[in-house]
Amino acid sequence: MEGVDRPLETRELNVSMGPQHPSTHGVLRLVLELDGETVVKCTPYVGYLHRGVEKLAEGMTYLQALPLTDRLDYISSMSNNVGYCLAVERLFGIEAPDRAKFIRTMVCEMTRISSHIIWIATHALDLGAMTVFLYSFREREWLLDLFEKLCGARLTVSYPRIGGVRNDVSQEFLDSLYEFTEQFPEKIEEYETLIDQNRIWLGRTKGIGVISAEEAINWGLSGPVLRGSGVDYDVRKRFPYDAYDRVEFDVPIGKNGDVYDRYRCRMEELRQSNRIIRQCIERMPRGPVMAPDAAKFTLPPKERVLADMESLIHHFVLITKGPMAAPEGEMYVATEVPKGELGFYIVSDGTGKPYRMRVRAPSFVHASLLPRLCEGSLVADVVANIGTIDIVLGECDR
């Protein structure tokens, strides 16, 4: 036998992972340079889902740009809408009425639950625990049905409006949501029983993708990815918007900054969101759901447009020119969406269209962290690292 004594030759291998790969959660492409099982270099390529939302918004009125924000992070569209509406409201200097604030807070937390459910489902699936996926989509379906009951759409809701929300919530809706909150804590325990003490799960998540608190801040991370490293930063607490200053909730914080701690943070957030929803339902005040001066910014009801001249003119002006009362100025407003801090930086030149609308997408920042997490780790952990930062490429690429 010839060549048996020759030492084994190894060489670095380039692997292109994605854009179509089940565990990249969308169209993310990673080019991995491998030395055996170890990742030497990781280069992410994004932009496959770039639709030019920022450019499109510059040509639209403030009202027209709202549905664009649904399509950023399409699994938590409600929070995106609220973030956009808040930014425009602050720019115009108006405020939503109390009832609308509570409704928004409630639906934002519903979105957080449905988004975290998708995250735990796919993350566990990536790491080899399939049952969680089947269990958690049951609850997500329930929430989506509730969204449908609320506004007629399940995913791209466009329910919040500048100055309030589109329609009031019915008592029937609140009752069924309350029933959901009564049952949901048990369901969280159900997911946890499946993986929390699972040796494979612990082995795949503990000590993987560690990032320290200082480094996490320097990278500009936000949301559970930052809190998993032990930084107490939550936009809902630091810059309270809507009704977040009138409900009680805790901000779960991790310690080690690894995949497991981020998992624990998100699971705890599910419980806190559940708690916020309950409080919102219990404390929901009565009253209008649109700001009194919102007529300047939002379309009048259809039946009035067809019956009364004023409203018709109003409708026409809003559609063709956009809100006339826009001041000149610039505004950066951040909200805490399930993925992290979503910021809208709007520059207004006094016309009905935004001069510049910048979307500070948490997924974009988190995706840039991937080389830092993956380089030096095993190739199997790349999947865990993609899952733990919870990115949605629609938001990353905008």
Partner 1 sequence: MEPLEIAERIRERFPEEVVAVSEFRGQVSVTIRKGRVVEICRWLHDEPELRFDFLKDLCGVDYLGRKPVRFEVVYTLYSMRHRHMIRLKAEVGEDDPSIDSVVPVWIGAGWHERECYDMYGIVFNGHPDLRRILMPEDWEGHPLRKDYPEKGPEREWQGFREVLDKAEKLKEFSWKE
Contact 137/394 with Cβ under 8 angstroms?
no
CA atoms lying within 13 Å on the CB side of residue 290? 15
CB of 56 to partner 1, least distance (A): 8
Interacting span for partner 1 (CB under 8 A) from 21-29, 62-70, 101-109, 328-336: 328-336
Applying CB under 8 A, does 142 fall inside the site for partner 1?
Answer: no
* 52 binds partner 1, rule: CB under 8 A: yes
The contact pattern for partner 1, residues 305-324, with x = CB under 8 A and - = no contact, is --------------------
Sequence-ordered list of residues with C-beta below 8 angstroms from that of 288, at least 6 positions apart, any chain: 97, 99, 100, 164
Give the residue, chosen from 306, 330, 376, 380, that forms a contact with partner 1 under the rule CB under 8 A: 330
285 binds partner 1 per the rule CB under 8 A: no
Which of these ranges, 10-18, 200-208, 211-219, 263-271, lies near partner 1 under the rule CB under 8 A?
211-219
Q: Closest distance between partner 1 and the C-beta of residue 314, in Å?
A: 26
Angle among Cα 170, 268, 177 to the nearest 5 degrees reads 15
Residue 220 sits in the site that holds partner 1 (CB under 8 A): yes
On whether the CB atoms of residues 387 and 132 are closer than 8 A, the answer is: no
Q: Is 302 in the site for partner 1 (CB under 8 A)?
A: no
**Part in contact with partner 1 (CB under 8 A); list of ranges 64-72, 252-260, 279-287, 340-348:** 340-348
Beta bridge partners of 161: 164
- Of residues 210, 299, 356, 379, which one binds partner 1 by CB under 8 A? 356
Tell whether residue 163 is a contact of partner 1 (CB under 8 A): no
Select 150 or 357, whichever has its Cβ closest to partner 1. 357
Residue 28 or 143: which CB sits closer to partner 1? 28
Contact pick of 22, 93, 203, 376 for partner 1 (by CB under 8 A): 93
Query: According to the binding rule CB under 8 A, does residue 56 interact with partner 1?
Result: yes
Cα 349 → chain centroid: 29
Nearer to partner 1, 221 or 243 (CB): 221
Q: Which of residues 59-88 bind partner 1 (CB under 8 A)?
A: 59
Dist CA 323 CA 60 (whole Å): 11
- AA identity, residue 155: L
Q: Which of 113, 29, 368 is nearest to 389 (CA)?
A: 368
**Does the protein bind partner 1 through residue 96 (CB under 8 A)?**
no
Burial zone of 107 (CB within 10 Å; 0-12 exposed, 13-18 middle, 19+ buried): buried
Chain centre to alpha carbon of residue 268: 16
Q: Is 218 in the site for partner 1 (CB under 8 A)?
A: yes
State in angstroms the smallest separation of the CB of 117 from partner 1: 28
Judged by CB under 8 A, does residue 350 bind partner 1? no
Tell me which of 38, 50, 175, 212 binds partner 1, using CB under 8 A: 50
Q: Which residue has the tokens 């639709």?
A: 51
For residues 52 and 292, which CB has a smaller minimum distance to partner 1 in the complex?
Answer: 52
Q: Which tokens is 354 given?
A: 């935004």
Q: Is 334 in the site for partner 1 (CB under 8 A)?
A: yes
Candidate segments 31-39, 175-183, 190-198, 213-221, binder of partner 1 by CB under 8 A = 213-221
Pairing of strands 164-165, 328-337: unpaired
* Region of 77-85, 103-111, 259-267, 350-358 interacting with partner 1 (CB under 8 A): 350-358
The footprint of partner 1 (CB under 8 A) covers 46-47, 50, 52, 54-56, 58-59, 90-91, 93, 217-221, 231, 233, 238, 329-332, 334, 341, 343, 345, 347, 349, 355-356, 358, 360, 364-365, 367-368, 397-398
